[in-house]
């Protein structure tokens, strides 16, 4: 099976799940944003997600394409070094990576965009064939 995301990382992110971190990781940016602004639906959704993580992991494995670019590495780089564009450089997007480096993640708007789209970006990168 296509194992793109880690349950271990999902549960680690769940600790901060009231801010939606695990939902962004598993490719659910709309509910991740909702969790961020409502503190995990006032904690209720956050607790329920403890039991939903295996399902979210399975859905992500089915939805996204594995390959040379690792989802977990890309997410860790985005989370901790996103304003410096390191996650973009890791994916081979050197021009935007350098732009992020000199503009603070394109004034944080680029980092926000990447939180919404990183899973798709990595999946597309993994789908590309190299000659």
pLDDT digit string (tens) for 65-97? 999 999 999 999 999 999 999 999 999 999 999
pLDDT recorded at residue 130: 62
pLDDT recorded at residue 45: 93
Sequence-separated (6 or more) residues with CB below 8 Å from residue 37? none
Compute the average pLDDT of residues 2-30: 91
pLDDT band at 131; cut points 50, 70, 90: very low
* Phi, then psi, of 65 in degrees rounded to 5: -100, 125
Q: How far, in whole angstroms, is CA 29 from its chain's centroid?
A: 9
Residues 56 and 26 sit within 8 Å (Cβ to Cβ): yes
Report how far residue 83's alpha carbon sits from residue 89's, in angstroms, rounded to the nearest whole number. 12
Neighbours of 1 (CB within 10 A): 7
Residues 3 and 34 sit within 8 Å (Cβ to Cβ): no
pLDDT band at 109; cut points 50, 70, 90: very high
């Amino acid at each position: 099976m296509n194992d793109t995301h880690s349950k271990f990382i999902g549960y680690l992110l769940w600790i901060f799940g009231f801010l939606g971190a695990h939902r962004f990781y598993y490719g659910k940016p709309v509910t991740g944003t909702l969790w961020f602004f409502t503190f995990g639906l006032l904690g209720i959704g956050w607790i329920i997600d403890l039991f939903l993580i295996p399902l979210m992991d399975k859905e992500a494995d089915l939805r996204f394409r594995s390959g040379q670019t690792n989802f977990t590495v890309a997410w860790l780089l985005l989370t901790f070094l996103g304003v410096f564009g390191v996650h973009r450089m890791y994916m081979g997007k050197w021009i935007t990576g350098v732009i992020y480096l000199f503009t603070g993640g394109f004034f944080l708007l680029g980092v926000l965009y990447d939180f919404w789209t990183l899973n798709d970006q990595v999946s597309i990168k993994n789908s590309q064939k190299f000659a």
